[in-house]
Amino acid sequence: MKHIAVIGAGTMGNGIAHTFAQNGYKVNLVDINEASLERGLTTISKNLDRMIAKDVISEGEKSETLSNITTFLSIEEGVKQTDLVVEAATENIDLKLNIFKQLDKTCAEETILATNTSSISITQIAAVTSRPDKVIGMHFMNPVPIMKLVEVIRGYSTSDAVTETIMELSANLGKTPVEVNDYPGFVANRILMPMINESIETLYNGVAGVSEIDTVMKLGMAHPMGPLQLADFIGLDVCLSILNVMFDGFKNPKYAPCPLLVNMVRAGKLGVKSGEGFYDYSESRKAETISAQFLK
């Protein structure tokens, strides 16, 4: 398995492409928006420069990594002759189902189809294909080149052979793969998102302010980043989407999103990517500082 396609050049997609390319895989990075592809490549280049500055890689390794990535504006062209496709599009069920229908028609019969979804059912995605045994979840953590965990999620029909292949592949990337079963939120977000939601409820109820809540969690629980700052980094719209998936899946009110989170998303206050969330990132330097701190 040496030829990988990544669908989506956003934060997760370019990080996944970077990681595969840095480990010697040929990567087709696919996005329908040329500007997104350009931003994705720019992000990869900047992150490689950070690694050079820290003596993690050499200039030669940067050049080799970038040479392993080819960009495409068409799924049909981008997934030809690939061994694995990793979908990393927006966390929207209808979008993902449409992409997987297209992938199933276009990809070779033996190609494994993976999704980087953080909460949507692998079984539901697999059901729209003719190869449910070859559909699996690969939930990378952000920032992908740095974070070690990959949640490997088995759908109802995912085969043992495909699961073993993806577990081995993840380990070859220098990651630590953890096999989990297909339930809303899997493990990471089933635990993380209620904590973030409860932090927002704590703010909403006036118990403490933003920096105070984050300070308690950083200093008291040894978290590297407070939950409200982390929510900003993830994207408040993404947090809301995951909570809605979990609430719909479990029908349990403990997963219902806090009204403050709902209103902030409606107002376009999405965190780092919009310039404002629980913190103010109106100066680009501030947003870059947050990212740089997390990439240390």
292 is in an annotated binding site: no
Report whether 197 belongs to an annotated binding site: no
Round to whole Å and give the CA distance between 267 and 45.
33
Residue 273 annotated as binding site: yes
Give CA separation, 192 vs 24, 119, 159, 186, 239, in Å: 32, 12, 28, 10, 10
User: In terms of DSSP bridges, do strands 149-154 and 135-140 run parallel, antiparallel, or are they unpaired?
Assistant: antiparallel
User: What is the C-alpha to C-alpha distance for residues 270 and 186, in angstroms, rounded to an integer?
Assistant: 23
- Cα–Cα distance measured from residue 202 to residue 173, given in angstroms and rounded to the nearest whole number: 39
Cα gap 72→7, rounded to integer Å: 9
Q: Is 31 annotated to bind ligand?
A: yes
Q: How far apart are CA 7 and CA 204, in angstroms?
A: 37
263 is in an annotated binding site: no
Q: Is 76 annotated as a binding residue?
A: no
The reply to whether 13 sits in an annotated binding site is: yes
Residue 9 assigned ligand-binding role: yes
Which helix (H) or strand (E) segment holds residue 289: the answer is helix 284-295
Residues 104, 8 contacting (CB under 8 angstroms): no
Residue 28 token pair: 């087709």
Catalytic residue numbers?
A: 118, 139, 151, 189
Q: Would you say 148 is a known binding-site residue?
A: no
Q: How many contiguous H segments (helices) and E segments (strands) does the chain have?
A: 13, 8
**Is 11 part of any known ligand binding site?**
yes
Q: Is 220 among the annotated ligand-binding positions?
A: no
Q: Is 60 annotated as a binding residue?
A: no
Nearest partner of 197 among 248, 153, 268, 247, judged by Cα: 247
Annotated binding site for NAD(+): 8-13, 31, 91, 96, 118, 142, 273
Residues that constitute the known binding site: 8-13, 31, 91, 96, 118, 142, 273
